[in-house]
Amino acid sequence: MADVLRDLLDGRWAEVRRGSLELLGKLEPAGELGREEYRAWVLEQMRALAAGGHPLIGFPAEHGGRDDVGGSVVAFEVLGFGDLSLMVKAGVQWGLFGGAVQALGTREHHELLPAIMSMDLPGCFAMTESGHGSDVQNLRTTATYDVEAQEFVVHTPDASARKDYIGSAARDGRMAVVFAQLVTGGTSHGVHAVLVPIRDSSGAPMPGVRIEDCGPKAGLNGVDNGRLWFDGVRVPRSALLDRYGSVSADGEYSSPIEGAGRRFFTMLGTLVRGRISVAGGAGSATKKALTIAIRYGSTRRQFTRPDSGDEVVVLDYLAHQRRLLPALATSYALHFAQEELVSALHDVADDRAQRELESRAAGVKAVSTWHATATIQACREACGGAGYLGENLVAGLKADTDVFTTFEGDNTVLLQLVAKGLLTSYRDHVGDLDPWGMARFVADQVVDVVIERTAARAIIDRLVSGSSDALLDRGWQVRQFEDRERHVLEGLARRLRRATPENAFDVFNTAQDHVLHAARAHVDRVVLEAFVAAVDRCPDPEVSALLDTVCDLYALSTIEADRAWFLEHGRLTAARSKSLTQAVNQLCAGLRPHARRLVDVFGVPEGWLAAPIIG
């Protein structure tokens, strides 16, 4: 039974997943190290990953890679079972830095890929500035073309334009992909990326480059985040990553994409893999925390039963089940949603699919990382004081994953992108990154809210059309998710239609909670559909029955969490809402005997689970 379930979880990239687990299993946890030692340890493990072939997966075959984009995300996800600083450092090097060189550069730049893969060229992805994090379109660093010298001059105009929080900048990075406003002949062409050497071979900063260490962080202290300032640093014309915009020797700018906005979004879009990877890494960390908390909860006893005189295993308490089992069900749901997202990334065929992918990635990233924060917190508390000790690992998971809700896009901003995509039906890139663009768009358009079923369309159609009103009827559950999404979106479109160019900000802002709710309802539905499709493709009736119950728990606990909305909108009667809570309690009790197996099958390598409380 465990094998069938594991195969289902392993999914389309089972082979990559197993290979990566094997590689991870060869590494060992760092133990307690000071910050500098920890950074050195991480760098060493990076070389071990490189030697083990980890970075090859996603890079092009012509440079020795395996051209497996989806596989590269799955391999990254597996690293989330191990050391999270290592995972993030790998993401910086091969995902962000290497990914940008590959996606934004052209032939000449791609010559760097072998050195990037092998870690001979450690690099940085220098996008965020102190003054502009979410609003990257308005970055202030400049790359000005000097036609005489045929060079770009990279410059930090003021304090708020320093590059901030840049992974690998403080210690290891030699080269940075610097995002800057490209200026030729006095005209700005919007944000582009330029390759800038930041350290020489001795490790000293290059002339004109100032580097500062961001210092200790809440977690991820094995990653050397730093700040960069450029004082008129000159790089050759060829340093521009010029796939989407190039400058001729005499300073003529050209681009295959018209409009600075569209161009920038296209460039950003090529980096969508980072967001999907973070969602996957968050998923792995959450699974690991659940594995620890549920194993501990299955053996830890407290308070003596009056009837038998035995002490009660804490996972037998309803409150303990409530804390952990709906979260476990959600982790299953997100696992299957993640698999679909990775497939969508791997198979993306056209522009509309790309924009839908970007929106879905934003939504799943936001929901997965908030789920990680909440669930790992619950696991910490469920382990009591022991959960606070470093040796029991949950504390580290909590500290390391906390920033996931912020990096690769602040979750609140990301959910706004999701709503924007829904309201515009992914029609090109509407306006700018600012969130009220959607208000202006909606005001000018007739918006048809259409719920497009994503996964397993035929199965869902069948479930819905034949559904009763029983709480455990999957068709009923799906209808609730769809109905909420449609209704919330329609209401939002009506509100935003009042926008004029003058009041767009205010109209948007008073509806901002509505915007976030609409996005959330959409993501919930997409996640449920992915889970439904996974249950449907399960070949074993026993496993399928178990997953069915897990899916019920996900669906009903999600509706329960938002049941005020369903009550307010006449979708649930008071009596039915109360019975929903009872149903969730019963599902928790029903899954209790299977909890241990449901986490064991996640397959966290035992070497990375060496917590004394579960030893």
Residues in 411-440 that interact with a copy of itself by CB under 8 A: 411-412, 433-436, 440
Which of 59, 76, 125, 165 lies at the binding interface for a copy of itself (CB under 8 A)?
165
If one asks whether residue 405 binds a copy of itself (CB under 8 A), the answer comes out as: yes
Within residues 8-37, the interface with a copy of itself by CB under 8 A covers 32, 34
Q: Is 564 in the site for a copy of itself (CB under 8 A)?
A: yes
- Comparing CA positions, the residue from 152, 161, 111 lying closest to residue 253 is 152
Please enumerate in sequence order all residues whose Cβ is within 8 A of that of 90, keeping only pairs 6 or more positions apart, or say none.
46, 49, 54, 55, 76, 79
Q: How far is the CB of 334 from a copy of itself (least distance, A)?
A: 19
Identify which of residues 214 and 472 has a Cβ nearer to a copy of itself in the complex: 214
Nearer to a copy of itself, 150 or 377 (CB): 377
Site for a copy of itself contains 497 (CB under 8 A): no
Among positions 365-404, residues that touch a copy of itself (CB under 8 A) are: 373, 377, 380-381, 384-385, 387-391, 395-396, 398-399, 402-403
Write down the least CB distance from residue 388 to a copy of itself, Å: 4
Contact present, 166 and 176 (Cβ < 8 Å) = yes
204 secondary structure, DSSP code: P
- Told to check if 304 binds a copy of itself by CB under 8 A, we report yes
Count of C-beta atoms within a 10 Å radius of residue 40? 16
Q: Does 501 engage in binding with a copy of itself (CB under 8 A)? A: yes
| Contact between 309 and a copy of itself per CB under 8 A | no
505, 540, 548, 600: which one binds a copy of itself (CB under 8 A):
505
Please report whether residue 581 would count as binding a copy of itself according to CB under 8 A: yes
- Of these, 83, 164, 529, 552, which contacts a copy of itself (CB under 8 A)? 164
Q: Which residues pair with 153 in a beta bridge?
A: 144, 234
Min. distance of Cβ 394 from a copy of itself in angstroms? 8
Max intra-chain CA distance, the chain? 90
Tell me which of 60, 203, 207, 215 binds a copy of itself, using CB under 8 A.
Answer: 215
- Stretch of 190-198, 282-290, 313-321, 324-332 contacting a copy of itself, by CB under 8 A: 313-321
Binding flag, residue 602, a copy of itself (CB under 8 A): no
Q: Tell the smallest beta-carbon distance from residue 49 to a copy of itself (Å).
A: 24
Closest CB to a copy of itself among residues 424, 454: 424
**Nearer of residues 19 and 326 to a copy of itself, judged by Cβ:** 326
CA distance 474 to 452: 18
Q: Report the C-alpha gap between 211 and 178 in whole angstroms.
A: 14
615 forms part of the interface with a copy of itself (CB under 8 A):
no
- In a 10 Å sphere around its CB, with 0-12 CB exposed, 13-18 middle and 19+ buried, how is residue 429 labelled? buried
Task: Single out the residue of 18, 512, 548, 600 in contact with a copy of itself (rule: CB under 8 A).
Answer: 512
Binding a copy of itself (rule: CB under 8 A), the pick from 63, 140, 262, 322 is 322
> CA 11, 94, 101 angle in degrees (round to 5)?
120
Residue of 563, 587, 599, 603 that binds a copy of itself (CB under 8 A): 563
SS3 123: strand
Alpha helices in 409-473 (DSSP H): 411-423, 437-444, 457-465
Instruction: Taking the CA atoms of 405, 406, 412 and 413 in sequence, report the sign of the dihedral they define.
Output: negative
To a copy of itself, the closest distance from the beta carbon of 464 in angstroms equals: 25
Q: How far is 203 from 39, CA to CA, in rounded Å? A: 15
Contacts for 438 with CB less than 8 Å, ≥ 6 apart: 416, 419, 420, 423, 424, 430, 431, 496, 508, 515
- Token match 């935003």: residue? 496
- Which span (55-63, 265-273, 286-294, 316-324) binds a copy of itself, by CB under 8 A? 316-324
Q: CB-wise, 19 or 409, nearer to a copy of itself?
A: 409
Count of CB atoms situated within 10 Å of the CB of 309 = 7
Contact between 81 and 608 under an 8 Å Cβ cutoff? The reply is: yes
β-strand partners of 129: 163
The answer to whether 468 and 479 are in contact (CB under 8 A) is: no
> Distance (Å, rounded) from C-alpha 569 to C-alpha 556?
17
CA distance 492 to 471: 28
**Interaction of residue 410 with a copy of itself, rule CB under 8 A:** yes
Task: Report strand pairing: 142-146 vs 187-197.
Answer: unpaired
Residues facing residue 146 across a β-bridge: 151
Tell me which residues in 110-129 interact with a copy of itself (CB under 8 A).
128
Half-sphere exposure of 583 (CA within 13 A, CB side): 23
CB closer to a copy of itself out of 31 and 256: 31
What tokens does 467 get? Answer: 């559904």
Q: How far is the CB of 60 from a copy of itself (least distance, A)?
A: 31
Half-sphere exposure of 369 (CA within 13 A, CB side): 28
- Residue 585 near a copy of itself by CB under 8 A: yes
- Least Å distance between CB 303 and a copy of itself? 4
CA torsion angle 495 365 290 535 (round to 10): 80
Q: Binding-site residue total for a copy of itself (CB under 8 A)?
A: 80
From 173-181, 342-350, 464-472, 559-567, span contacting a copy of itself (CB under 8 A): 559-567
Part of the chain binding a copy of itself (CB under 8 A), chosen from 7-15, 301-309, 358-366, 549-557: 301-309
Q: Does 186 bind a copy of itself (CB under 8 A)?
A: no
Rounded Cα gap, residues 261 and 26, in angstroms? 46
Q: Which position among 539, 570, 606, 615 is part of the footprint of a copy of itself (CB under 8 A)?
A: 570
What residues between 224 and 283 interact with a copy of itself by CB under 8 A?
A: none
Q: Does 216 bind a copy of itself (CB under 8 A)?
A: yes
| Nearest residue (CB) to a copy of itself, 50 versus 492 | 492
